[in-house]
Structure 1
Amino acid sequence: MSGNDIREGFFEECEDLLEAVSDGFGAMGRGQRDKETLNAVFRAVHSIKGGAGAFNLDTLVEFAHKFESVLDAVRSEKLTVDDDVLRLFHRAGDRLADLVVMARNGQECDPAENAALVAELAALIGNDDGAADEAAAAAFVPVTFALDMFGAPPDEPEGPNVFVIRFSPHRGLYATGNEPALLFQALGRLGTLTVEADLHRVPQLSNLVWDEPVIDWILHLETTEPEMAVREVFDFVEGLCDLEINAEKGNKVPDFPSPLIEAPPDADLLKKEPAHVVELAPAQTAAAPSVAPSPAAAAASAPVQQRPTIRVDLERVDRLINLVGELVINQAMLTQSISEVKLPQGNRVEVSLDQLKRLSSEVQERIMAIRAQPVKPLFQRMARIAREAGQAAGKNVHFSTIGDATEVDKTVIERLGDPLTHMIRNAVDHGLEPPEIRLANGKPEQGNVILTAAHRSGRVIIELSDDGAGINRPRVREVAISKGLIPADKELTDNEIDNLLFLPGFSTKAEVSNLSGRGVGMDVVKSEIQNLGGRVSISSRPGFGTTVTISLPLTLAVLEGMVVEANGETLILPTTALQETVQADPANIHRIGTDGIFLSIRGGYIPILDLGVCLGLQERPSDLKGRVLLLLENSAGSRTALAVDRVVDQREVVIKGLEGNYGHIPGIAAATILGDGRIALILDTDELASGLKSEAEAVPHRLAVAGG
């Protein structure tokens, strides 16, 4: 493994450790301030410090060390965590995450940005503890990775210390992924180490409990390092073992003491081999806790059984997903070919093909699940956005999440960051009232912002709610008229007024601030969500708050679509925006002007777009008699009827992107391959229904439809 691989592995571990820090502070914010929670946060910060030292990331080491010292003061009950301290801890955790990112990207850190926060942390533990902290910092010598790390040992120091260490692992030590051999390697780098396995507790094989540790260890370490450095190696497994360290001065490792308990008389094998001893030569550099068990495992707060995981390059997963997509397409083509042969019903070929279809569908689902990741890391980043927005706006914000274990396609998660950032800033700046106004209205001074994720009907639903003043609809209407976004005499429903917030350039802020006022925000949210194949809506109750709802597909690789025909071409219409299908009836079709065609349904009028004309497949609208009308609703709540020749089928299709190899096509989102081998284009319903493609104003856009 190269040095770059080791370095990247450290930063990947940091992601898990920072998540543990965020989880711990979140639990403390909910009143869970027990010792286990504190230890989990402490060990995570300690692991980051140790790993950073291995790569000479001095700024990260110094900040993590100061942070660790304050957390240790909480563990030793010298410092009590109140709301103010917890807010400072949140800021320190955010800064620690920033330093990790900067170190990963090779960016320089401005020392002044750390100085103020470090001073605040130091003030919590006072001068006396600060002096002890500086002494501990001086004693901390991290392991640094070098080509000759495992080379020849240094010259023998004079007057080494000799430590006799008795180490008995508990079941929880192994359950959290720790390994004694790694601890022994860390000790071996401190000096000359001799390890003896004490087997007196090993029972007969018939009485063996597979997950119960029965081997104790007696270690003799000859080193020039102080006892604190020895104990630091075991920080990762504190509470997961019985540990006894006895120190004495000398230049010779004493003889091994006999086991405390005699071996059982029937353990013949153990009598023959009472102990296994191995000599570990000293390394060239002093040891540090960073080489102890996996930091992610060490950060676990309780001995909980963890499922084994592996890290895989995302590009490999994408290639595998593409291959599975090709497999599904070829299976569909095989089905199509066999159906054309017209074999007798119930023949073995069809039975085998059905089995292949089920297997390929299951393989596709399992492969797609590999890309699925919980939204928890994303939601944790949004917690920071909420804290910073509250601080900038001078508002007391309580941010909480529900359903952060909900799994979504990784690509979807990556592209949700910007929309959610805008939504949270709007909720804090526009939604929540200032503290004095909330108190005057009988509300708690602290405003609530809740981010929720859940699976519903095969889609991911994300909601952001606040308990603020709600949307001031008269103000929104007034601003929209003043900006020329709507006519002054236009009548709008409450829902239509709410959706004005998604228009580009719309803002009710009179002054530009760090959070809003430039008219850039909810229009970005709408645009990004639409690009993900999703929809966004908004609802509000004046005086009670606002909820923004996002509906997204579980994955961007497979789509549930309606197969339709228009002017002889086969196209795919995503079912996400489809409300219903209607058979065209001349009695309900009305023409207004020269090109306007409307459908009368349930007391309202819906504009009709001819799909063939919208895509440039024909010059003039066809006669609607006998055609099928697909009623669509876009993210703004507007409805449109799309006229097609017929509906062929409804199926899941594998999405193939066009923009990377061809470019953007108005009204087209992507493409797929049908069972007969033909290419079918996937429609962008929101773009088609936006009115830009209506017969009254659109210039036909010619498409060279593959296979047509």
Structure 2
Amino acid sequence: MDPLASIKITFFQECEEQLAELETGLLTMKDGETDPETVNAVFRAVHSIKGGAGAFSLTELVRFAHVFETVLDEMRAGRLAPDGRILDVMLRAADVLADLVRAARDGGTVDEDRCQALIAELGALTGVQEAAVDDGFLDLDFAPITVSVDVGEEPEPAAAAGLEMAEGAPAAEKLVVAFRPRAALYAKANEPAVLLRELASLGRAEITLDASSLPQLDELEPEAAYLHWVATVETDDEAAIREVFDFVEGDCELSIARVPDDCEPVAARQPPVDEAETAGELDIKALIARATGGATQTAAAAQAAPAAQVISLRDHPARAPDMSARKEDGHAVAAASPTIRVDLERVDRLIDLVGELVINQAMLAQRVLESGLARSSGIAVGLDDLELLTREIQDSVMAIRAQPVKSVFQRMPRLVREVAHATGKQVRLVVEGEGTEVDKTVIERLTDPITHMIRNAIDHGLEPPERRIEVGKPAEGVVRLSALHRSGRIVIEVADDGGGINRTRVRQIAVDKGLISPDANLSDEETDNLIFMPGFSTAETISDISGRGVGMDVVRRSIQALGGRISIASRPGQGSTFTLSLPLTLAVLDGMVVSVGGQTFVLPITTVMETLQPKPTEVRRLEGSVPLLLVRDRYVPILDVGHRLGYRAGPIEPTEGVVLLVEGEDGRSAALLVESILGQRQVVIKSLEANYQRVPGIAAATILGDGRVALILDVDAVISGPTSEPALAETRLLAAG
């Protein structure tokens, strides 16, 4: 088994994050925001990928990343202007970099011609040839680094710091850099030698290695960090030094102090260890080999004498900067909050256990209620406290799975570029609300539906540039992708400013394909929804993008499987908007428990606006239609849930039951008539599709406090129309247990 397998997994996970950051930064720059922080963020992303790839000898990935990084470095230095043409090349380079990362992870291959062509394009931007690669590390052609080794012997005061006072010495700007890596730096496949070489490139540098912390060999932890370095660099550019360590800032201790003008660096005077070290220079790889081979001797020496003082500026003490926060451009930069990576299966198991805890707490409360104990008794009060604590635990655990939809939205710019290129259209993607959080299970299943809708919006919705100009529109079409929270659900919209749905053509295609009869009388909304039917397509020819009639049908089925729904709003000549409405989580919901036909049902409380007992004067009847309820000067249809689900042969009088005024996702209101309201409680959602099959009118099931199964109503399905007879039979069967 590969001993680095677990580290590789972490590396590739971080690569995905860096690639997302890279693409976001490049798109931000393409929109005109080319501030130094954005450019630095893009550079750090590529630099981090290159550094980790070098540690695993991923030669092709390192080679391409280095050429890419060189262009970004020129841009950072202001020698290369980030104009539109250059950014187009860099966006394509980001795609190739992503392909190389995935090929390295999955063992695939990447088109070599494509890589070489982009390497040539990137090289042409700077005139720099691709770097040579040796054993996975780039030959950066830096000046040699002088390294002195401190193995525990007490040095002379000035020698320990590599500094000595010298009267009359010429003034020189120097900075002392103390660099102490943490274990996390190595765990992320970063290499201190690369950082030290970059530090040496800023000016003449003398670097001292302190190995006094090395323990005895039998006490050495392979994943720990024992070495640290002190460097004296002849430069006055502190910002450049910080940039060297920028992408490992949270994984090391770094302090920078200015050396007074009357100090000058001298060679550190260390007792010779062997002939190779008497010259004061030591190859880092040789040092590591010596340290691992002679750790016992080193540790013994460290115990015999106190550790050397790393920095000593006699008569001129310098205070190390506070590493918890530092100033950049006048703003305080807080230290990154610590995070851990947890296997998703463990989180799922934790959520399942919390769900069982909620069910058992409800059962216990039910048993106490049935026993007739007073609400003021000690047991009842303790149960109330337990309920509050259970709710808080459940909310905290669900927050662990909550993630912003940014992870899905960030994949779409690349898709837009590819589809726009394939169709010959000019498209601009506008993203809003990417910080909106939703359960990870929902996020994982959003990618395919959103992908299909965006492809459909570009291919079918947007007109060709020449057609847009003819009708007075800009040649560049706009596709808008947005997300927001609404009534306890997440709403995602994909809108375009194209020509809208051609309803006449849609209807004719549906008739030609036999999907509807020629004399069918359809509203505009029903006509628009024909595009979701299996086998329907408005494409005249089959292409790589569309034409097979499976895209929008897949979208609807995928959304329905998540307990959501999709709607369309189209305006001819102005564009179309597809709206997805999904539950925030597939695990729990707050519900209103009601009695219907002797059975218990649960309604999502986010759909209930109010409850009331109808009065005879508030009920109106029209021949051949459902009764209407007058609510604040407007009439709302009364829908008898028991009758619709087949639990009664006919409806009951509205005045004999309780009405729940609900609102569907499309904005339609209805008054659902039930026999009684049993209470409000939080319930754990159990999927019907996973355990049985999909039933129209029923969203899911749950387990009540008395151990019985209750069905969760799909409010929108109940509002939309009468349920079919087979569905009624299934509903009765499920409710009966």
Instruction: Classify the TM-score, shorter chain.
Output: 0.7 to 0.9
Whether 1:120 aligns to 2:121 is yes
2:137 maps to which residue? 141
| Corresponding residue for residue 88 of structure 2 | 87
Q: Identity of paired residues, percent?
A: 49
SS of 1:700 mapped into structure 2: helix
Instruction: State the match for 2:97 in structure 1.
Output: 96
Deviations 1:298-353 (A, max 9, x none): xxx99443211111111111111111112222221222222223333433333332
Mapped to 2, the partners of 1:633 and 1:504 lie a distance apart of 29
Query: In 2 relative to 1, CA 419–256 (structure 1 residues): closer, same or farther, beyond 3 Å?
Result: closer
Partner of 1:364: 394
The structural deviation recorded for 1:507 is: 2.2
Instruction: Give the letter aligned to residue 572 of structure 1.
Output: V
Q: Normalised by the size of structure 1, how large is the TM-score?
A: 0.74
Q: In structure 2, give the amino acid aligned to 1:563.
A: V
Measure the CA separation in 1 of the matches of 2:410 and 2:195. 39
Separation (CA, whole Å) in 1 of partners of 2:12 and 2:189: 20
State the alpha-carbon separation in 2 of the partners of residues 574 and 161 from structure 1.
67
1:568 equivalent in alignment to 2:582: no
SS of residue paired to 2:438: strand
Q: Could you report, residue by residue, the CA deviation over 1:351-384 in whole angstroms, capped at 9, with x for unpaired residues?
A: 3322222221121111101100111121110111
For 1:17-44, what per-residue CA distance to the aligned partner results, in whole angstroms no more than 9, with x for missing partners? 1122122112202212123322221121
Deviates more, 1:303-312 or 1:628-637: 628-637
> Secondary structure, in 3 states, of the residue corresponding to 1:550?
strand
Provide the rounded CA distance (Å) in 2 between the counterparts of 1:642 and 1:442: 48
Question: Aligned runs of 1:198-347 on 2, under 5 Å?
Answer: 218-219=230-231, 236=247, 252-253=279-280, 259-262=312-315, 303-347=333-377
Aligned residue for 2:649?
Answer: 621
* Distance in 2 of aligned mates of 1:119 and 1:443: 38
CA deviations on 1:452-501 (whole Å, 9 max, x unpaired) are 11122222121122222222233333333333333434443333333333
Corresponding residue number in structure 2 for 1:34: 35
User: Within 1, Cα distance between the matches of 2:310 and 2:518?
Assistant: 95
How has the CA–CA distance of structure 1 residues 702 and 15 changed in structure 2, closer, same or farther, with 3 Å as cutoff? closer
Query: Of residues 535, 556, 560 in structure 2, which corresponds to 1:505?
Result: 535
Aligned match for 1:451, one of 455, 478, 481: 481
Amino acid at match of 1:125: T
CA distance in 1, matches of 2:92, 2:558: 29
Mind listing any 5+ residue stretches in structure 2 that lack a counterpart? 149-161, 163-173, 198-205, 212-227, 234-240, 268-275, 282-307, 320-330
Matches within 5 A, 1:431-580: 431-574=461-604
The alpha carbon displacement at 1:48 in A equals 0.7
Task: Report the 3-state secondary structure (helix = DSSP H, G, I; strand = E; otherwise coil) of the residue aligned with 1:599.
Answer: coil
Q: Look up the equivalent residue of 2:230 and give its one-letter code.
A: I
CA distance in 2, matches of 1:72, 1:333: 63
| Unaligned ranges ≥5, structure 1 | 144-158, 198-215, 222-229, 271-300, 592-597
Preserved CA contact (<8 Å) 1:565 1:644: yes
For 1:357 and 1:699, the matched residues in 2 are separated by: 35
Matched with 1:43 is 44
Q: Aligned with 2:511: secondary structure?
A: helix
CA distance change for structure 1 residues 576 and 91 in 2, over 3 Å: closer, same or farther?
A: farther
User: Counterparts of 2:577 and 2:506 in 1: how far apart (Å)?
Assistant: 16
Shift, 1:403, TM fit: 1.4
Instruction: Compare 414-423 and 92-101 and name the one that shifted more.
Output: 92-101
Give the secondary-structure state (helix, strand or coil) at the position aligned to 1:124.
helix
Counterpart of 2:411, as a letter, is R
- Say if 1:639 and 1:486 are closer, same or farther in 2 by CA, change over 3 A: farther
Change (3 A) 1:639 1:488: farther
Contact 1:628 1:645 in 2 (8 A): yes
CA, structure 1 residues 640+500, in 2 after alignment: closer, same or farther (shift >3 Å)? farther
Q: How many residue pairs align between the two structures?
A: 615
Q: What is the CA-CA distance between 1:576 and the residue it aligns to?
A: 6.5
Alignment CA distance shift 1:53-1:187 (3 Å): closer
Question: Does the CA contact (< 8 Å) of 1:36 and 1:302 recur in 2?
Answer: no
Check 1:490–1:65 CA distance in 2 against 1; reply closer, same or farther (3 A cut).
same
Q: Distance in 2 between matches of 1:689 and 1:552?
A: 17
Task: Report what 2:209 is aligned to.
Answer: 195
**CA–CA distance in 1 between the matches of 2:405 and 2:43?**
24
CA distance in 1, matches of 2:526, 2:29: 42
Structure 1 residues 52-82: Cα deviation after superposition (integer angstroms, max 9, x where no partner): 1222322322222222222223233343221
Give the 3 Å change call, closer, same or farther, for CA 39–260 of structure 1 in structure 2: same
Shift of 1:406: 1.1
1:387-421 deviation per Cα after TM superposition (whole angstroms, max 9, x unaligned): 11111111111112111111111011100001100
TM-score of the pair, normalised by structure 2? 0.71
Question: Compared with structure 1, are the counterparts of its residues 392 and 445 closer, same or farther at alpha carbon in structure 2 (3 Å cutoff)?
Answer: same
